[in-house]
Structure 1
Amino acid sequence: MGKLVRDKIPDLIRRDGREPVVTMLDDVAYREALLDKLLEESFELRDASAEQVPAEIVDVLEVLRALAQVHGQDWRDIEELADVKRAERGGFHDRVYLG
Structure 2
Amino acid sequence: MGKLVRDKIPGIIRAGGREPDLRRLDEQEYVRELHAKLLEEATELANASNSQVVEELADVLEVLRAIARINGVSMGEVDDVTKQKRAERGAFDQRWYLNSW
Match of 2:96 in 1: 96
Q: Secondary structure of 2:50's partner?
A: coil
Aligned to 1:87: 87
What is the aligned partner in structure 2 of residue 14 from structure 1? 14
Q: Deviations over 1:47-80 (max 9, x none)?
A: 1111001000000000001001111111111111
State the percentage of identical aligned residues. Answer: 53
C-alpha separation in 2, matches of 1:35 and 1:5:
13
Alignment of 1:61 onto 2:73: no
Q: Distance in 2 between matches of 1:92 and 1:24?
A: 39
The yes-or-no answer on 1:38 pairing with 2:38 is yes
1:51 counterpart SS class: helix
Q: Which runs of 5+ in 2 are unaligned?
A: none
**TM-score under structure 2 normalisation?**
0.95
For 2:91 and 2:60, the matched residues in 1 are separated by 18
Regions of 4+ moved over 6 Å: none
Structure 1 portions without partners, runs of 5+: none
Where 2:72 maps in the other structure, the secondary structure is coil
Give the total of aligned pairs: 99
